[in-house]
Structure 1
Amino acid sequence: MKHKSFYIFLGCEAIACMMLHFSRRALPQIFSSILAFPFEQTGILLRILSLSGSSGNLISIVFYSVICLVPVIILLLLSKKRRLYPEDALLAVLSAVLFAVIYYMINPGLLGKLFLMGQRVGKAMLGGIAYSVIAGYLLIRILRLFFTADNTRLQKYLLILLYIVNIIIVLIVFGVQFSNLLDSFEQLRADNKGNEHLLGASYVFLVLRYIVDAIPNLLIIPVVTSGQNLLSELSADRYSEQTAVCAVKLSRICGLALIITVLSTVGLNLLQLVFIRKLSVVNSSVNIPVFSVAFVLAALLLAQFIRENKQLKEDNDMFI
């Protein structure tokens, strides 16, 4: 996939995430939680269909059964194509989980008996359970593919995995973190009723905090893209000059991303100190990016290793 086309896809994903959040606030009875999507909406549609009459109720039951049995159907299809593995049993577990999750989404009044914190939390937890089973199955399958693949396939799988990393990053920034920003707006208004006209600076700094928190995640995208370029060059010729250039470029991008992350945090903390009298909420943080430092060092070591290998091959070729 071309990087430009993939960036367009990531932009569409970001817009979709933000639209989903605004829909949740405009229609809270339909969009209560990101984790509940699309199970909640499926339950609402099935409930409307069920209450439309006896024939609608029958159709609703059929749709409910078919939707929940999809993982089992996939399991049966897989059994005809290849040998089943232990992790494939999670598909049957997922089917059972879907029966329970969608049933409670159809009948949200029953959630009060299970979750004392309300329907919204209950729906989010049910959706989280379903997603945990899906994620568990996918991760175990990916690990099996990794351990049984040759070098060429491993590079292909790693390239695909890097694309998935960028998709998850956008989901975190414009899904989870953007949701937290909107929630912080609501909490700020709730805590300062009658003083809304004094909250302008606080809103600005909440947005700045969101940007600073998002920067480390967003900077992973160019790092991953650079890693994909290096991986492509390694697949073509690990001893080429372009491979060494890509390795050096990756290490430099990692270092630049680390510097930007640290400086953005320091800058926001200093700005809050300057405008502290005008702020109703202050969030100071100390960012110690140990993982990022380790990643930069690993990238630098990789670049050095590739350069040394290239030099060693050139020396051997000259000797021959």
Structure 2
Amino acid sequence: MRYKIFYTALVLEAIFCMIFALPQMQVSGMFTTITAFPFEQIGWGLRRLSLSGRAGNAVAVALYLLLSLLPCAVFFILRSRKMLCRADRLLPAMSALLFFVNYYMVNPGLLQTGVAGSGKWMLGSTFYAVLCGYLALRMLHMYTSADVRKLQAALKILLLFTMTAFVFAIFGQGIGDLLSAVEAVRSGNSISSVEAAVFGTAQELTLTYAFLVFQFAVKAMPYSMDLVAVFFAVKMLDALAQDRYSDAAVSTVGRLADFCRSALMVTIAVEMLFHVLQLLLHRYLYRVDITIHFPVLSIVFVLAMLLAARYLQEDQRMKQEHDLFI
């Protein structure tokens, strides 16, 4: 029950990503890229407020300063509580970066880039990159000398965060790439009514669209499997926190290892099937995508889970023998 709210948030994230991936939802000046959220919307609101009059402009400037100084506020709060570490020196720099990001989000016409339409994407991505780097360094400092329970709690937080990343990869980036590929095939193979009268109707693209959906499923499958694996991993951490020698803990680790092994086998088989079918039907397809992928990290993770399961089973056996001896 305690994870119910989090899983509901994941569903809402998936719905939001799917809606945002639709081309008609990309409203110029307000919703252009998800990496610019929420800075783009804040900039749009501050600009409208600033143009409303003197009072609105004063409020907009005050909000601009307050929003940009939020990392500095966090720095002084940590300082007052004597919780500063070396990583927190990035907070004032993040405030300076926020001044830059918010200013150009309010005035997007002033940001000139080599690629048209990439300005807001660059601004948002840069800030999120710095933010993620700061959070990683902060967590390394917090948990370097932590005990087992704190390390388990930190790992659980990271696992839950990865679930949000997997949801975005499937329903945000994956569906966005699928719609872009479909639009590219459609626009690249469309003909005018005059050309259709002379040369006949447009080429049949149904099979190509089907393979694009198949390709999306192939790319989304590892992330879907990872979502389930992380779910089992969170359950495993809960069981280990209660009693790592219990049957529940050992069985949970075993189920996680078995699922990871089966998921990896299914993913590899589906990817092989996709490439073979694409080769057999390539003359009927108007878009072909061949990706050579060797799942090194997935294999390492599966072996690590199998090794952890064996260690826990051995520890449980030794503890049972010790208890019987006593």
Report the TM-score when normalising by structure 1. Answer: 0.93
Q: Any idea what SS the aligned residue of 2:36 has? A: coil
Q: Which residue of 2 aligns with 1:135?
A: 132
Cα pair distance change 1:271/1:42, threshold 3 Å: same
Specify the code of the residue in structure 2 equivalent to 1:50.
S
For 1:277 and 1:99, locate their aligned partners in 2 and report how far apart those are by CA, in whole Å: 54
Cα pair distance change 1:72/1:260, threshold 3 Å: same
Structure 1 position 179 matched with structure 2 position 185: no
Structure 1 position 260 matched with structure 2 position 257: no
Query: Is the CA contact (8 Å cut-off) linking 1:265 and 1:285 kept in structure 2?
Result: no
Q: Once the 2 structures are TM-superposed, how far is the Cα of residue 2 of structure 1 from its aligned partner? A: 4.0
Q: How does 1:92-171 map to 2 (within 5 A)?
A: 92-112=92-112, 115-118=113-116, 120-171=117-168
For 2:317 and 2:146, locate their aligned partners in 1 and report how far apart those are by CA, in whole Å: 29
Q: Any idea what SS the aligned residue of 1:280 has? A: coil
* 1:314 pairs with one of 286, 297, 320: 320
Q: Which residue of 2 aligns with 1:241?
A: 247
Most deviating of 181-190 and 21-30? 21-30
Specify the code of the residue in structure 2 equivalent to 1:272.
Q
Q: Which residue of 2 aligns with 1:198?
A: 204
Specify the code of the residue in structure 1 equivalent to 2:321.
D
Specify the code of the residue in structure 1 equivalent to 2:176.
S
Cα pair distance change 1:139/1:279, threshold 3 Å: same
Cα pair distance change 1:133/1:287, threshold 3 Å: closer
Q: Any idea what SS the aligned residue of 1:148 has? A: coil
Query: Is the CA contact (8 Å cut-off) linking 2:85 and 2:141 kept in structure 1?
Result: no
For 2:123 and 2:183, locate their aligned partners in 1 and report how far apart those are by CA, in whole Å: 25
Q: Any idea what SS the aligned residue of 1:30 has? A: coil
CA shift digits 1:85-140 (9 cap, x unpaired) = 1211211111111111111111111122xx1212x211111111111121111111
For 1:39 and 1:3, locate their aligned partners in 2 and report how far apart those are by CA, in whole Å: 29
Q: Once the 2 structures are TM-superposed, how far is the Cα of residue 220 of structure 1 from its aligned partner? A: 0.7
For 1:278 and 1:2, locate their aligned partners in 2 and report how far apart those are by CA, in whole Å: 51
Q: Any idea what SS the aligned residue of 2:91 has? A: helix
Q: Which residue of 1 aligns with 2:18?
A: 18
Structure 1 position 212 matched with structure 2 position 218: yes
Q: Once the 2 structures are TM-superposed, how far is the Cα of residue 3 of structure 1 from its aligned partner? A: 4.9
Structure 1 position 229 matched with structure 2 position 235: yes
Q: Any idea what SS the aligned residue of 2:35 has? A: coil
CA shift digits 1:195-222 (9 cap, x unpaired) = 7662222222111111110100110111
Q: Which residue of 2 aligns with 1:50?
A: 50
Q: Once the 2 structures are TM-superposed, how far is the Cα of residue 178 of structure 1 from its aligned partner? A: 2.1
CA shift digits 1:261-290 (9 cap, x unpaired) = 101101212332343232110112333212
Q: Once the 2 structures are TM-superposed, how far is the Cα of residue 186 of structure 1 from its aligned partner? A: 2.5
CA shift digits 1:15-52 (9 cap, x unpaired) = 01111222764513322222111111211111111122
Q: Any idea what SS the aligned residue of 1:225 has? A: helix
Cα pair distance change 1:6/1:102, threshold 3 Å: closer
Query: Is the CA contact (8 Å cut-off) linking 1:189 and 1:196 kept in structure 2?
Result: no
Q: Which residue of 1 aligns with 2:197?
A: none
Cα pair distance change 1:240/1:98, threshold 3 Å: same
For 2:285 and 2:145, locate their aligned partners in 1 and report how far apart those are by CA, in whole Å: 56
Q: Which residue of 1 aligns with 2:198?
A: none
Structure 2 unaligned runs (5+)? Answer: 192-200
* 1:279 pairs with one of 282, 285, 292: 285
Identity %: 37
For 2:248 and 2:207, locate their aligned partners in 1 and report how far apart those are by CA, in whole Å: 49
Q: Any idea what SS the aligned residue of 2:111 has? A: helix
Query: Is the CA contact (8 Å cut-off) linking 1:24 and 1:31 kept in structure 2?
Result: no
Query: Is the CA contact (8 Å cut-off) linking 2:44 and 2:105 kept in structure 1?
Result: yes
Q: Once the 2 structures are TM-superposed, how far is the Cα of residue 240 of structure 1 from its aligned partner? A: 1.6
Most deviating of 293-302 and 6-15? 6-15
Most deviating of 144-153 and 250-259? 144-153
Cα pair distance change 1:196/1:25, threshold 3 Å: farther
